[in-house]
Structure 1
Amino acid sequence: MGTAEQPQRVTMTRAARRVLEAAERLFYERGIHAVGVDLIAAEAGVTKKTLYDRFGSKERIVVEYLAGRDERWRAFLAQYLDAAHATPRARVLAVFDASRAWSARFGAKGCSMVNAHAEISDPSHPAFPVIGGQKEWMLALFTGLARDIAPDDAERLGRTLMLLHEGALVAHGLSVFPDPVAHARDEAAALLDAVTAGA
């Protein structure tokens, strides 16, 4: 789903993997702009030369960080979708269930894509398409699921579900109120019930 091309990925050596693991933790905890290559190299236990030999630039590390996180999220979500009952309603709600579980385990500071977009607004940055592509994929997913529920209104329903989902992720990252993803799931369930009742 989605039309954005996936970025070309870096071949992972053992040293590259250490660099990326350090960068992933630091970028998510502190922010992309706040973390320099000196700190990444020190945390990874490699020289800056090794870092640049493997990745070429900090921008490429950012791409790998975001693309890798997106890849893991899609695999994580697929397990929930596969386990959902065959009904379209259950599959929509499974997305919220997956996001709730992911946020509890891997997303204390909210959505990494939203956070990255707050720092990377230049469309020429190599990570920019990764961020937009992930959200396009999510919209396409919700729209596809909505099509099985309301074929004549799939775009509007898909966008509404996306807004509930993304708003919940932002609220979670900001700790605005307890368990916003569960709240969004309840609202999505009520919306789907209203749509099917009116069909």
Structure 2
Amino acid sequence: MSTTAVLDAAEALFYQRGIQAVGMDDIRTESGVSLKRLYQLFPSKEALVVGYLERRDERWRRRLAEFVDAHHGPKILLVFDWLYEWFTEPDFRGCAFINSFGEMGTRSPAIMSVVRHHKKALRAYLVSLCQDVPLAEQILLLIDGAITIAAITGDPDAAWRARAAAVVLVSG
């Protein structure tokens, strides 16, 4: 239970405010877990960030796959429909993995590893949808671009513009 509370607090605070802006005391306060227990669960802030990202990766990719499986149409294009829904959520702040890499990745091999795993797993999922490695890699670029543009501009329609580009790629 306390691990879940800590990871819930970490995800909410790190995603909303950024990793460097959040201290372990903030996590303790938000989670209701003592600082001693927090450090028993996660001996360092880096370990906590890794735990947060690993859990977010699993949940994010599961939500995407569930959406794609539940809808009809070209599966590779449904990814962009899901992105639009995600971009319109009130707490959308962009890609947690790109954000974490930007803040900590070059200083933390552990965080870099989780970020790379997420991108490799997403690439593999896209390959499974379209059975075309070069196309999947191009779609991945469109996805990351759309996420970044939507986060920076606050415009969820970046998903539709990326989808339109994907249609050209798929039909080409």
Report the counterpart of residue 142 of structure 1 in structure 2. 126
Using the aligned pairs only, state the percent identity.
38
TM-score (norm. length: structure 2): 0.89
Q: Among residues 86, 100, 108, which one is paired with 1:116 in the alignment?
A: 100
Pairs aligned (count) = 172
Segments of 5+ residues of structure 1 without an aligned counterpart are 1-13, 148-153
Segments of 5+ residues of structure 2 without an aligned counterpart are none
Higher mean C-alpha deviation, range 119-128 or range 64-73:
119-128
Pair 1:168 & 2:146 matched:
yes
Query: Structure 1 residues 121, 26: closer, same or farther in 2, change over 3 A?
Result: same
Report the counterpart of residue 32 of structure 1 in structure 2. 19
Greater gyration radius: 1
Report the counterpart of residue 129 of structure 1 in structure 2. 113
State the distance in 2 between where 1:32 and 1:182 align: 30
What does residue range 31-180 of structure 1 map to in structure 2 within 5 Å?
31-85=18-72, 90-105=74-89, 108-122=92-106, 124-147=108-131, 154-175=132-153, 177=155, 179-180=157-158
1:121 deviates by 2.4
1:190 deviates by 2.7
More helix by proportion, 1 or 2?
2
1:36 deviates by 1.0
Paired residue secondary structure (1:120): helix
Counterpart contact for 1:107–1:173, Cα < 8 Å: no
Report the counterpart of residue 6 of structure 1 in structure 2. none
1:101 deviates by 1.7
Higher mean C-alpha deviation, range 102-111 or range 22-31:
102-111
Q: Aligned-pair RMSD on alpha carbons?
A: 2.0
Query: Structure 1 residues 107, 166: closer, same or farther in 2, change over 3 A?
Result: farther
Per-residue CA distance 1:93-120 (angstroms, 9 max, x = gap): 1111122222323762111111011012
1:175 deviates by 1.2
Paired residue secondary structure (1:108): coil
